[in-house]
C-alpha cells in the first residue's frame, strides 16, 4: 500500500484522485487544500464542483480510501507520493506580467513539502507548468539540510471539464516525464504502476521531464488553435454566404484533419487555454523565438475578435442600441456539463452588453452561483434566473452562450409569445434549429451562417 497525497482540491485534484482511489483500493489517497470551505464541501453531499459521474465515484471511495483534509503538514509527512495540482494562474505583476505563469503558489508548495517531510518522496507535477519548472522544484527540494532525496516527475493532466470522469477512466494517454537516472526512472515506474491498475500499458507514455511539460502546453495550444481556425472561417462564412457547419463537416471528414473541435461559436473559454497559450508565448519570447510567439498569440487574438464580433452582431442587429432592452443570456458556464465560469465567453458577452446598458438576465442550470461570484461588483446589475422561460419573458433577445442540452429542448413557440417584438435570437453555439425558429417569428443570427430575418 502507498500513501498518495494530492495538494490542491480543485477541478483537477478532486476528480483525478477520486478515480485513482476507485481503481486503487489498496492505496490510501488524501486530498488537502488551504481552502477549508472547499474541503468541507468535498466532505459533504454538495460537492464544490459539478461534474457528471463525480458524485458516484466520490460516494464509492470517500472514507474508504479517499479522504479530504486541511491537515497539509500531516498529509505531507505521511505521504510516499505527492501530486501537486494547485492553481497556476497568469502573472499579473512584474516581469512577464500578463503572460508568464505565476509560480508563487507552486514554489510555496515546494517549500511546504520540504518543511513537513520526514522521509524521501516522489513529487508529481500535475498542474500545468512552464518548461523546466520541475528543475526549479528539484533545486528547492534537494538543496536541503535534511539529507533527503526527492524525485520530481511530470504527469500533466489532459481531462476536460464536463467529461473529467470519462477522460480519467478512459484516457487517450497518460504522460509521465522523469529524469534519466536510476532513481528518476524508478519514480516514473512508481507513478506508471498506479495508472496500470486501469489504463492499458500502451497508453502510458514515458518521456523526459521537459518533453512532458512542453507536450501539455502544446496539446492545449493545438486544441485552441482548431477552435480559432474554425472561428476565423466563420467570420468569412458570414461575409460570403457559406455555412460554417457545412464547411466544418466537409473539412473534418478528411481523416488527416478529423471532425472534433471544429465547432464554431462565441470563442473558447475556461481557465486553461488562454493561460497556457500565453505561457507558451512567453517561453518562445524568452528563447528569442519571436515569430513562433506571434504565431501562437494569434490564436488568442482570434478568440478575442470572435467574442467581440458576437456582441457587435447583437448590437447592430437590434437597431444599433440595446440600452434599456432586456436580453436573456442562456448559459453562463464556459461549456456544457460544468458549473465552471472561469473565463467564460458568456460572462465576456454579459460585461460587453452591460457596457451598452442592456438589462441582462442570465439563466444556467448549474453555473449561476459561480457566475455571480465571477462577475463581482457587476453582478448587482444582473438578474440570475434558473428558469429559462422566466428569463426570456419580456426580453427583446435571447443569446445562447453555452451548449447545454436543456436549451435545445425548450418550447420556443411559448418563449416567443412571451417576448417583446421583434424578437431576436443569437445562437452563439449553433445548437438550435434556426429555420424552425425563423418560422416561429424570431430574427435568427447564428455564428458563421447567413442571418434569417423578417426585417
Ligand atoms: P483550482 O483553482 O480549481 O484548484 C486549485 C486548488 O489549489 C484550489 O482549491 C486552491 O485553494 C489550492 N491551493 C493553492 N495553493 C495551495 C497550497 N499552497 N496548498 C494547498 N492547496 C493550495 O485549479 P484547477 O482547475 O484544479 O487547476 C489546477 C492545475 O491543473 C492548473 O495548473 C491547471 O492549468 C491544470 N489543469 C486544469 C484542468 C481543468 O480542467 N481545470 C485540466 C488539466 C490541467
Ligand atoms: C481543455 C482541454 O480539452 C483538456 O484536454 C485540458 O486538460 C484542459 O483544457 C486543461 O488543461 O485545462 P476544457 O478547457 O475543460 O479542457 O474544455 P474544452 O472541451 O477543451 O473546451 C474549451 C473551450 O473551447 C470551451 O469554451 C468550449 O466551448 C470551446 N470549444 C471547444 C469550442 O468553442 N469549439 C469546439 O469545437 C470545442
The pLDDT tens digits for 305-346 are 999 999 999 999 999 999 999 999 999 999 999 999 999 999
Do the beta carbons of residue 379 and residue 404 sit within 8 Å? Answer: no
Whose CA is closest to atom 12 on ligand 2? 272
Residue 453 is placed in which grid cell? 430575418
What is the whole-number distance in angstroms between the Cα of residue 197 and the centre of ligand 2? 27
Integer Cα distance of 377 and 369 in angstroms: 14
Q: What is the pLDDT of residues 151-198, one digit of tens each?
A: 999 999 999 999 999 999 999 999 999 999 999 999 999 999 999 999
For the Cβ of 272 lying below 6 angstroms from any atom of ligand 1, the answer is: yes
Position in ligand 2 atom list of the atom nearest CA 128: 11
Mean pLDDT of the chain: 96
What is the whole-number distance in angstroms between the Cα of residue 52 and the centre of ligand 1? 19
For a ligand 1 pocket test, name from 271, 334, 373 the mutation site with the most ligand atoms within 8 angstroms of its C-beta.
Answer: 271
Question: Given a cut of 80, is residue 144 above it in pLDDT?
Answer: no
User: What is the b/e burial string over 445-454, where b = at least 16 CB atoms within 10 angstroms of the residue's CB?
Assistant: bbbbbebbee
Q: Is 305 exposed, middle or buried (0-12, 13-18, 19+ CB in 10 A)?
A: middle
Q: What is the pLDDT of residues 78-96, one digit of tens each?
A: 999 999 999 988 889 998 8
What is the whole-number distance in angstroms between the Cα of residue 262 and the centre of ligand 2? 11
> What pLDDT does 316 receive?
98
Q: Is the peptide bond before 7 cis (omega within 30 degrees of 0)?
A: no
Whose CA is closest to atom 33 on ligand 2? 268
Do the beta carbons of residue 301 and residue 274 sit within 8 Å? Answer: no
Whose CA is closest to atom 10 on ligand 2? 272
For a ligand 2 pocket test, name from 49, 223, 258, 263 the mutation site with the most ligand atoms within 8 angstroms of its C-beta.
Answer: 223
Q: What is the pLDDT of residues 187-244, one digit of tens each?
A: 999 999 999 999 999 999 999 999 999 999 999 999 999 999 999 999 999 999 999 9
Cα of 288 vs its chain's centroid, Å: 29
What is the whole-number distance in angstroms between the Cα of residue 340 and the centre of ligand 2? 12
Amino acid at each position: 500500500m502507498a500513501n498518495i497525497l494530492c495538494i490542491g482540491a480543485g477541478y483537477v485534484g478532486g476528480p483525478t484522485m477520486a478515480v485513482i482511489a476507485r481503481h486503487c483500493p489498496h492505496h490510501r489517497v488524501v486530498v488537502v487544500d488551504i481552502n477549508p470551505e472547499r474541503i468541507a464541501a468535498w466532505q459533504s453531499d454538495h460537492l464544490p464542483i459539478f461534474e457528471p459521474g463525480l458524485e458516484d465515484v466520490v460516494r464509492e471511495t470517500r472514507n474508504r480510501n479517499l479522504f479530504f483534509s486541511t491537515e497539509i503538514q500531516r498529509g505531507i509527512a505521511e505521504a510516499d507520493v505527492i501530486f501537486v495540482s494547485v492553481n497556476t494562474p497568469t502573472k499579473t505583476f512584474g516581469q512577464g506580467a500578463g503572460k508568464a505563469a505565476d509560480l508563487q503558489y507552486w514554489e510555496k508548495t515546494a517549500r511546504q513539502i520540504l518543511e513537513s517531510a520526514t522521509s524521501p518522496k516522489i513529487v508529481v507535477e500535475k498542474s500545468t507548468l512552464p518548461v523546466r519548472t520541475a528543475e526549479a522544484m528539484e533545486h528547492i527540494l534537494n538543496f536541503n539540510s535534511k539529507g533527503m532525496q526527492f524525485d520530481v516527475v511530470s504527469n500533466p493532466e489532459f481531462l476536460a471539464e464536463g467529461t473529467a470522469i470519462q477522460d480519467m477512466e478512459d484516457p487517450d494517454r497518460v504522460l509521465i516525464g522523469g529524469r534519466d537516472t536510476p532513481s528518476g526512472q524508478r519514480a516514473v515506474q512508481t507513478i506508471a504502476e498506479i495508472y496500470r491498475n486501469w489504463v492499458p500499458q500502451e497508453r502510458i507514455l514515458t518521456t523526459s521531464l521537459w518533453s512532458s511539460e512542453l507536450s501539455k502546453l502544446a496539446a492545449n495550444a493545438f486544441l485552441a488553435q482548431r477552435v480559432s481556425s474554425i472561428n476565423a472561417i466563420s467570420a468569412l462564412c458570414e461575409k460570403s454566404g457559406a455555412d460554417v457547419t457545412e464547411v466544418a463537416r466537409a473539412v473534418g471528414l478528411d481523416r488527416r484533419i478529423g471532425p472534433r473541435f471544429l465547432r464554431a461559436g462565441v470563442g473558447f473559454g475556461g481557465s486553461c487555454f488562454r493561460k497556457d497559450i500565453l505561457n507558451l508565448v512567453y517561453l518562445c519570447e524568452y528563447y528569442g523565438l519571436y515569430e513562433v510567439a506571434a504565431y501562437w498569440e494569434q490564436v488568442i487574438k482570434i478568440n478575442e475578435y470572435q467574442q467581440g464580433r458576437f456582441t457587435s452582431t447583437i448590437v447592430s442587429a437590434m437597431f444599433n442600441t440595446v440600452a434599456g432592452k432586456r436580453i436573456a443570456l442562456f448559459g453562463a458556464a464556459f461549456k456544457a456539463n460544468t458549473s465552471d465560469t472561469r473565463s467564460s465567453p458568456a460572462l465576456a458577452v454579459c460585461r460587453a452588453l452591460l457596457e451598452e446598458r442592456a438589462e441582462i438576465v442570465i439563466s444556467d442550470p448549474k453555473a449561476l452561483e459561480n457566475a455571480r461570484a465571477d462577475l463581482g461588483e457587476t453582478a448587482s446589475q444582473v438578474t440570475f434566473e434558473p428558469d429559462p422561460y422566466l428569463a426570456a419573458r419580456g426580453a427583446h433577445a435571447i443569446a445562447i452562450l453555452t451548449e447545454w442540452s436543456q436549451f435545445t429542448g425548450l418550447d420556443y413557440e411559448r418563449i416567443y409569445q412571451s417576448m417583446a417584438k421583434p424578437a431576436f435570437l443569437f445562437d452563439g453555439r449553433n445548437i438550435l434549429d434556426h429555420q424552425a425558429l425563423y418560422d416561429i417569428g424570431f430574427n435568427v443570427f447564428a455564428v458563421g451562417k447567413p442571418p434569417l430575418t423578417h426585417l
